[in-house]
Amino acid sequence: MSKLRVSCFSISLDGYGAGPGQDEQNPLGRNGAELHGWFLTTRPFQSMHGPSAQGTTGLDDDFARRGAENLGAWIMGRNMFGPVRGPWPDERWRGWWGENPPYHVPVFVLTHHARRPLEMEGGTTFHFVTGGIEEALGRARQAAGSADIRVGGGAATIRQYLRAGLIDELHLAVSPVLLGSGESLLGGLDLRALGYRVTEHVASPAATHVLLQRGPAT
């Protein structure tokens, strides 16, 4: 059955999914890039940016690969799509990823400001959804069919879906760094009460990987 998944979401030891001060120069916020050390060396990441035989193998790579498997649609918050805030001044911002983004499926971008769909190379089309998380999920389910849907981020978007009890599975990579401030992923959220349990826990030198799955709330 199609699952709503978060995969490969990196957080710091102190729980932040991005650093403070996100802008066009710092899409991950200040020091936020430190969260992603484990991912940058993997084959799935390397193959987005060149010949696919590059990159490490092993635990980090396995998780990166699992994260990319069986996806029929993505959902992301507007800040993950770009640094533009408020109404779209024009259609010039086309995402962080160039003309051939690494999604290759429909991507539903949550925003308060309507915009025409944006068809990119390689199968990625960005759809701008103004009706909230349930509307985005409904449209993503239609697009994905029996494949899974991945909520990319950022933290605020994932928190909305978690609060609504909609996420089936959450893979976090806890990186051994301190950010000190930024966007907290889990602060104030009672995942235990929402029915989540840790079902996998394994570490590489670069990150501790944990899988949370949702069962009946207790």
Decide: is 59 part of the binding site for a second copy (CB under 8 A).
no
Shortest Å, Cβ 28 to a second copy: 15
Q: State yes or no: residue 164 binds a second copy (CB under 8 A).
A: no
Please give the Cα distance from 64 to 58 (Å, whole number): 10
- The count of chain residues that interact with a second copy, using the rule CB under 8 A, is 31
By CB under 8 A, residue 201 contacts a second copy:
yes
Under the binding rule (CB under 8 A), the answer on residue 174 touching a second copy is yes
Contact assessment for residue 170 and residue 6, using Cβ atoms and an 8 Å cutoff:
yes
Q: Are 204 and 162 in contact (CB under 8 A)?
A: no
Q: Is 190 an interacting residue with respect to a second copy (CB under 8 A)?
A: yes
> The tokens 């696919």 sit on which residue?
52
Is residue 49 part of the contact set for a second copy (CB under 8 A)? no
13 scored as a contact of a second copy (CB under 8 A): yes
Task: Specify whether the CB–CB gap between 99 and 126 falls below 8 A.
Answer: no
The reply on whether position 180 binds a second copy by CB under 8 A is yes
Q: How far from 142 is each of 33, 90, 122, CA to CA, in Å? A: 34, 29, 20
The single residue among 155, 162, 167, 212 that binds a second copy, judged by CB under 8 A, is: 212
Q: Which two tokens stand for residue 123?
A: 């199968």
φ, ψ of residue 187 in degrees (nearest 5): -50, 125
Q: Which stretch binds a second copy (CB under 8 A): 75-83, 100-108, 155-163, 174-182?
A: 174-182
Per CB under 8 A, 26 contacts a second copy: no
Among 10, 31, 79, 124, binds a second copy (CB under 8 A): 31
Report yes or no: 10 and 35 within 8 Å, Cβ to Cβ.
Answer: yes
State how far the Cα of 190 lies from the Cα of 108, in Å rounded to an integer. 27
Residues in contact with a second copy by CB under 8 A are 13-15, 31, 172, 174, 176-181, 184, 186-187, 189-194, 196-198, 201-203, 205, 208, 210, 212
